[in-house]
Structure 1
């Protein structure tokens, strides 16, 4: 144990570990609010906690994350005004998908997904880098029910992924909304936050009755996540799609490196 021992949610943490988790929660909230992918920081930090199981880490991560996605979704809604006719169906289907994904979380090995996700991310990063005009303005590819069905399909697929694994969910939502539906990065982030709020809720609907959430630890990290998300959402809205695109490329690059490292060392 490092530093002075601190008992949180039945786990004996060192004071330094607890501070590191709070810092990770703040950073995750900021990243997630701007472009998604905060789980890249927060979930690995939780997995390093002595005595915590993978399912407890995943469930506790959802509790902390939903606090941040709540404030960022509200901020985007007030300042960007995303279309609720698209966000509503997408979020509802994503919530159901996340519940199903959470139910499968202990049965399907995550290693099966890593090579596929890595390949997709490399393609998306190259596409975004070499086409700087992508995501600068919204040029929707469908209208009416076709648009909403496409959004719901995206919500279902990524919702299942969020309940099953989680890290990078917001980033994948932004990728899909920009590349498939034709949204600008800022509008895509606004819709992604509403949908990500729903996926976090769907996963928690499964995890809470099963006793997987470590409440004291999740709430502690969640407060920091909330503060980071509030700051990140306001910065993204103020600076616009160009800023979001830059952060997007940085986060996607980090995700590619992390997944590639997992493949090398396993």
Structure 2
């Protein structure tokens, strides 16, 4: 049992560090939990334990970013509310939605995002100063609801999708995009917990140490991202996309 707790602390810290700095902490955390927790643990419980940690880490990263970045609250808050509702609805719709079709679709989207970011060298490097238009705010609501639903029903790559939307369609630099994505991602994680906790899918003896480590890792990861700036985040974003492309390809074609 002690070895498992130590393992949860290591996985939680590394996942929080990665997620706050460039995103994609779930790539480390979820496989790590499946390896560390007893094999008899239900999948929903593994995901519930992971969501407690993800929420604590994302909330910490959000707090760090908000203190140092100008946030478009007029668009973010309504989008976060819609994302919360859509994520909760997505979690409840898993049994009725053909989730198996999402992996190949996400693989195509990730490849396109990676190629576009690589070819457009100035993407996410310029700091936007003008306010959002009404049309952009409406699109923010749409993207918040759409990606929130995806996070509830499937999940991997949510932060990357949000960051890309803010960079590509709003002209934000990667730092502002990462900060904005964290706000919405916090609400989608909270929506998932609103489903997992009442249904008894959280073992707190595992979730609390994992969450504490994830929170500490997120604190350091956000500090690194803020200090290193947009160039670091652009490279990190592309590395993350390559990792996710590799994982999705492995999952789809590995027999």
1:142 Cα offset (Å): 8.5
Residue 86 of structure 1 aligns with which residue? 75
Q: Aligned to 1:40, which of 27, 38, 47? A: 27
- 3-state SS of the aligned residue for 1:240? helix
Q: Where in structure 2 are there 5+ consecutive unaligned residues?
A: none
Contact 1:102 1:207 in 2 (8 A): no
Shift of 1:47: 2.4
Please give the alpha-carbon distance, in whole angstroms, between the structure 2 residues aligned to 1:173 and 1:34: 15
For 1:3, the equivalent position in structure 2 comes to: none
Q: What is the CA distance between 1:57 and its match in structure 2?
A: 1.6
1:217 to 189, 206, 220: 206
How many angstroms does 1:113 deviate by?
Answer: 0.7
Q: Could you tell me the TM-score, scaled by structure 2's length?
A: 0.93
Equivalent in the alignment of 2:18? 31
Q: CA RMSD in A?
A: 1.8
Shift in alpha-carbon separation, 1:51–1:141, aligned structure 2, 3 A: farther
| SS of match in other structure, 1:212 | coil
- CA–CA distance in 1 between the matches of 2:121 and 2:226? 19
**CA contact under 8 A between 2:16 and 2:217: conserved in structure 1?**
yes
The counterpart of 1:252, out of the listed 216, 241, 254, is 241
Alignment of 1:85-124 (within 5 A): 85-108=74-97, 110-124=99-113
Contact kept, 8 Å, 2:5 with 2:209, in 1: the verdict is no
| Alpha-carbon distance between aligned partners in 1 of 2:112 and 2:129, rounded to the nearest angstrom | 21
Q: Distance in 1 between matches of 2:217 and 2:79?
A: 25
Partner in structure 2 of residue 11 of structure 1: none
| Separation (CA, whole Å) in 2 of partners of 1:107 and 1:38 | 27
Q: CA deviation at 1:255?
A: 0.4
Unaligned runs of 5+ in 1: 1-5, 7-14
**Kept in 2: contact 1:142–1:181 (CA 8 A):** no
Provide the residue aligned with 2:6 in structure 1: 19
- Structure with the largest fraction of helix: 2
Task: Say if 2:215 is the partner of 1:235.
Answer: no
Asked if the contact 2:124–2:171 (Cα under 8 Å) also holds between the matched residues in 1, the reply is yes
Look up the match of 2:160: 171
* C-alpha distance in 1 between matches for 2:4 and 2:122: 42
After the TM superposition, list the runs of 4 or more consecutive aligned residues in structure 1 that deviate by more than 6 angstroms.
Answer: none
1:265 aligns with 2:254: yes
How many corresponding residue pairs? 253
CA distance in structure 2 between the partners assigned to 1:181 and 1:25 by the alignment: 32
Q: Does 1:154 align with 2:111?
A: no
C-alpha offsets along residues 218-244 of structure 1, whole Å, 9 cap, x if unaligned? 111111110110001111111111111
C-alpha distance 141-156 of structure 1, shift in aligned 2 (>3 A):
farther
- Please say if residues 125 and 249 of structure 1, whose CA atoms lie closer than 8 Å, have aligned partners that are also in contact: yes
* Higher RCO structure (Cα 8 Å, ≥6 apart): 2
